[in-house]
A and B are shown apart, each in its own frame.
Chain A
């Protein structure tokens, strides 16, 4: 997906909310957008999601898209499951696929008991779960989250974190804004700041300089070595002797062999990733052919930064 010279202003002669935005977003990347209140973050998200059209410039190659707003209205005359099933069909799912995806996502967010509750009777948090489920139920190629975590309880935030990294691991693009600077810390492939209507690359990892936007975002595999602090998970995995770790593991784990490598002994590796990627990484290891056996999963100190990235 590519944005070329994108600008947006409201009304003829109005001031430019965004101007001269060039951006190349690759599949399988997670992008964070930062900026002060009123800086044009939401406008950028709306343009990315295709809800709003740019005044100048072009946006091409947008995949199937879902958008999650910050606040979801209670004023809809549907039950949670009814609304989600209908939206699943709008997203292009069949009736049965929409119904089962709706039930599945409500359950994942712990809102299964609210499935038959009218949206107008849901609490703010539960209604935000419906909004987030709406964004996830059709496995979109582009997921745009405008402070989607706001109003969710702690458990649901973690579910959303994992859903985001799963989408990215599955090759989708996720773009998000969140007021919490620690949200998915260390996970994004790129961070941008909207400043005075311009989009500026932020040294996302703390050391790397601003990249030239026209060169595009680094993909999940081409990231710089530096990693910010954030909760991380170490996984000890055992594979058949002589086996190599699968290519393109989710979360770009830091990894290395554990102990001496003997010719006939099973290969044992320790892989460390940002906590949000751990489910996706475990799934990838277990689903690999040949499958890897998981020996141990441990969380590591947030401040502890590992050395070399995986190759």
Chain B
């Protein structure tokens, strides 16, 4: 699995196809995160942005490898493991983004609530990181079930990924929305809510979505007949 992860990570890094989702992330962060704003508001925004960005990264990773090269790797390691490695590569890259983003937001934000009450910086940052990881996991889940091998045609996969990401971000009862709202509401009441339940639910959903995608990876039409 380590060899597959290294292979997929090298594919992602050298293909430069990570650039568009990264630019989306940077653009949204530039719009939504301002220096000196209340920390929990900005952390909530930074977490929410990661959901569509992660879904896009997953799409990049699972469509990055040309079919014939994927066949070679699949014969050697099994198609499910090859697909899992692609999904995990996207998940790890997005988690890295979550760590860097949280650190950046914590550094530039005002460690106080909306009404200028002082907030514990470290627990705010911790809650922000967990909320970001929650969004990363849900973005990975959306990306996994909205792309190859579940949806093969680009015409279906791209709009479904976009729609899926926004539905999961805004629909009532979504762990992402619960985690982000926990931060934003905490900013008003000057309390830090650690989103443990949303994180756990997101982890279960991501595991289920990735299992479905990996199980289907050996059931796709090949190049020829």
Contact = CB atoms under 8 A, between A and B. Distances in A.
Interface of A: 10, 17, 37-43, 46, 49-53, 64-73, 75-78, 82, 86-87, 89-92, 131, 134-135, 138, 140, 144, 146
B72 A67 contact: yes
B173 interface: no
B172 interface: no
Contacts of B7: 86-87, 89-90
Nearest to A46: B222
B225 A86 contact: no
Contacts of B68: 69-73, 131
A73 B4 contact: no
Nearest to A10: B221
Contacts of A70: 68, 224
B11 A68 contact: no
Interface string B99-134: 000000000000000000000000000000000000
Interface stretch (B76-84, B88-96, B138-146): B76-84
B71 A49 contact: yes
Contacts of A77: 10-11, 14-16
10 contacts: A39-B225, A41-B225, A42-B224, A66-B75, A66-B76, A72-B68, A86-B7, A86-B10, A92-B3, A134-B72
Nearest to A53: B218
A90 B71 contact: no
Given A50-B79, A51-B79, A86-B10, A68 B219 contact: no
A73 B67 contact: yes
Given A17-B225, A51-B222, A78-B14, A87 B66 contact: no
Nearest to A44: B225
Contacts of A89: 3, 6-7
B222 A68 contact: no
B63 to A, nearest CB: 11
Interface string B192-217: 00000000000000000000000000
Contact of B69 (A38, A39, A73, A138): A73
Contact of B71 (A37, A43, A67, A75): A67
Contact of B72 (A38, A68, A75): A68
Interface of B: 3-4, 6-7, 10-11, 14-16, 65-69, 71-79, 218-225
Interface of B is mostly: helix
Given A50-B218, A52-B219, A53-B219, 15 more contacts: A10-B221, A38-B225, A42-B223, A46-B71, A49-B74, A50-B78, A51-B75, A51-B79, A67-B76, A69-B68, A76-B65, A90-B4, A90-B73, A90-B76, A131-B72
Contacts of B76: 64-67, 87, 90-92, 138, 140
B69 A86 contact: no
B12 to A, nearest CB: 9
Contacts of B220: 52
Between B6, B16, B69, B74, the greatest number of chain A beta carbons within 10 A of the residue's beta carbon is seen for B69
Contacts of A65: 75-76
A194 B65 CA distance: 30
Nearest to A74: B66
Contacts of A135: 72
Contacts of B15: 77
Contacts of B222: 42-43, 46, 51-52
A179 to B, nearest CB: 12
A38 B224 CA distance: 8
Most chain A CB within 10 A, of B11, B14, B68, is at B68
Nearest to B77: A90
Given A77-B15, A86-B6, A67 B219 contact: no
A50 B225 contact: no
Task: Report the 10 A-B pairs with minimum CB-CB distance, sorted nearest first.
Answer: A67-B75, A73-B66, A77-B14, A89-B3, A53-B218, A42-B224, A69-B68, A49-B75, A51-B74, A91-B76
Nearest to A36: B225
Contacts of A146: 224
Nearest to B16: A77
